[in-house]
């Protein structure tokens, strides 16, 4: 009987893995970002995977992300374990849609994904709500259709209905207004109520973000007024009518951008970026359940360069925040935790950096009840120099 040479078989097996591109082992990125901690590549898109949104779904993480390939920009949902292993991948929208932006939440029973798209079939912009399990699309609902640009959708769930907010050009591309939709599902089907938010029109109203705290909605948005961009905050009831006053959180003499909000149930933490003489710094503010500021404005960054695109999430007596930093030499991804009681900002940790300052990491952070999880998009040499989605926990 001929003897089997196990050493040669092992070498052949390794060569097969390397040639075929199978990801049985963690990928070594020789020419990509320098990564300073353990992370996991969760996509193999054969295109550019970008703009991920991370949520915790009771026993797994869900990542909604956009795949850019040729002239298409498709939408996917990938579910993963905390060790980075992929459970399932589901395509949410087919190729005739070009996805502009998206957002996601977990209701306790299903994922709710809202996205703004351009439909090549009828040359219309649309807001679409998709309800999905990890491996199946449950429902697709058309929220808004127009020939004008729709963008930056955000979604919240109050246990009975969804509230969706987005920026709408309405009568041209120069001004944006914030619109909302209330969506009900019952045994008789679905009901969609669209309305324009009753907030002052002061030019471009962008980047709305909405959350539910068990009692009412809280919404933030960016508004361009004369020379400056400002960040506004207000409560809304379940019918999306304003409760109380609208509060301006940012300085009237600085440009503020890209606000995000997270709720712990009893209070909110809101972050945004300031443009301070060409340097961008990230600030946060605590708001209690009555709309009062709790403590002072917290500066999360203290360095030269551009600290941009923050993502924030409340934990227990703390919040985690992740952002991208750009300077003359490189771009980097940073993370820190802020203790609520003493407003202490822990030393930021550099998660990775890249020699190319134009790389867009688009970070997103979520909380599983014990720890923070982070996803981002980064350059990879694995598949013809594409961007892929990475996860760390």
Q: pLDDT digit string (tens) for 188-201? A: 778 899 988 888 76
Nearest to 197 by CA among 214, 212, 213, 182: 182
Supply the pTM of this predicted model: 0.87
The CA distance from 61 to 373, in Å, is: 8
Residue that has been written with the tokens 């449950």 in this structure: 138
Q: How confident is the model at residue 138 (pLDDT cuts 50, 70, 90)?
A: very high
Q: How confident is the model at residue 34 (pLDDT cuts 50, 70, 90)?
A: low
CB count in 10 Å sphere of residue 377: 25
| Residue 25 or 289, more confident | 289
Q: Is the distance from CB of 140 to CB of 90 less than 8 angstroms? A: no
The CA distance from 335 to 346, in Å, is: 9
Fold of the domain built from segment(s) 35-392 = Methylamine Dehydrogenase; Chain H (2.130.10)
Q: Taken in order 314, 319, 320, 323, is the CA torsion positive or negative?
A: positive
The CA distance from 181 to 210, in Å, is: 12
Q: Is the distance from CB of 25 to CB of 353 less than 8 angstroms? A: no
Q: Give the N- to C-terminal CA distance of the chain in Å, as an integer.
A: 51
Domain boundaries defined on the chain: 35-392
Q: Calculate the average pLDDT of the chain.
A: 84
The CA distance from 343 to 298, in Å, is: 7
Nearest to 28 by CA among 38, 43, 20: 38
Nearest to 27 by CA among 40, 9, 12, 14: 40
% of the chain at pLDDT higher than 90: 53
Q: How confident is the model at residue 4 (pLDDT cuts 50, 70, 90)?
A: very low
Q: How confident is the model at residue 354 (pLDDT cuts 50, 70, 90)?
A: confident
Q: What is the DSSP letter of 249?
A: -
Task: Show the tokens assigned to 359.
Answer: 């790389």
Task: Show the tokens assigned to 102.
Answer: 């998206």
pLDDT at 360: 64
The CA distance from 359 to 363, in Å, is: 12
Per-residue pLDDT tens over the stretch 142-169: 999 988 888 999 999 999 999 999 998 8
Task: Show the tokens assigned to 136.
Answer: 């199946």
% of the chain at pLDDT higher than 70: 85
Phi–psi pair at 237, nearest 5 degrees: -85, -175
Residue 284 bridge partners (DSSP) = 271, 298
Q: Is the distance from CB of 104 to CB of 112 less than 8 angstroms? A: yes
């Amino acid at each position: 009987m001929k003897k089997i040479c196990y050493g040669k078989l092992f070498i052949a097996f390794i060569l097969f893995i390397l040639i075929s591109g199978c990801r049985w082992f963690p990928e070594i990125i020789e020419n990509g970002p320098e990564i300073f901690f353990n992370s996991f590549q969760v996509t193999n898109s054969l295109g550019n995977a970008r703009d991920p949104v991370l949520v915790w779904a009771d026993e797994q993480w869900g990542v909604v992300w956009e795949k850019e390939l040729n002239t298409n920009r498709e939408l996917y949902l990938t579910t993963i374990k905390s060790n980075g292993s992929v459970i399932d991948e589901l395509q949410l929208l087919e190729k005739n849609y070009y996805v502009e932006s998206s957002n996601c939440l977990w209701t306790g029973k299903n994922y709710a994904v809202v996205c703004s798209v351009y439909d090549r079939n009828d040359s219309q912009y649309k807001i679409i709500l998709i309800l999905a399990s990890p491996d199946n699309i449950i429902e697709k609902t058309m929220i808004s259709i127009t020939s004008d640009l729709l963008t930056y959708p955000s979604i919240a769930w109050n246990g009975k209905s969804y509230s969706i907010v987005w920026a709408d050009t309405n009568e041209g591309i120069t001004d944006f207004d914030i619109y909302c939709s209330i969506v009900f599902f019952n045994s008789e089907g679905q009901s969609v109520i669209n309305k324009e938010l009753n907030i002052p029109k002061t030019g471009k109203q962008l980047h709305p973000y909405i959350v539910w705290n068990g009692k009412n909605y809280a919404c933030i948005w960016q508004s361009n007024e004369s020379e400056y961009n400002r960040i506004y905050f207000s409560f809304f009831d379940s019918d999306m009518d304003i409760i109380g006053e609208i509060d301006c959180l940012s300085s009237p003499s600085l440009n503020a951008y890209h606000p995000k909000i997270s709720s712990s149930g009893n209070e909110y933490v809101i972050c945004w970026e300031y443009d301070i003489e060409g340097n961008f710094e990230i600030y946060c503010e605590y708001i209690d359940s009555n709309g009062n500021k709790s403590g002072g404005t917290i500066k999360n960054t203290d360095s030269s360069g551009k600290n941009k695109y923050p993502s924030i999430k409340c934990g227990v007596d703390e919040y985690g925040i992740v952002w991208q930093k750009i300077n003359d030499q490189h771009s980097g991804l940073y993370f820190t935790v802020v203790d609520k009681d003493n407003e202490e900002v822990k030393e930021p940790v550099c998660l990775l950096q890249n020699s190319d300052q134009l790389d867009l990491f688009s970070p997103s952070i979520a909380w599983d009840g014990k720890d923070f999880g982070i996803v981002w998009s980064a350059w990879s040499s694995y598949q013809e120099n594409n961007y892929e989605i990475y996860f760390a926990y």
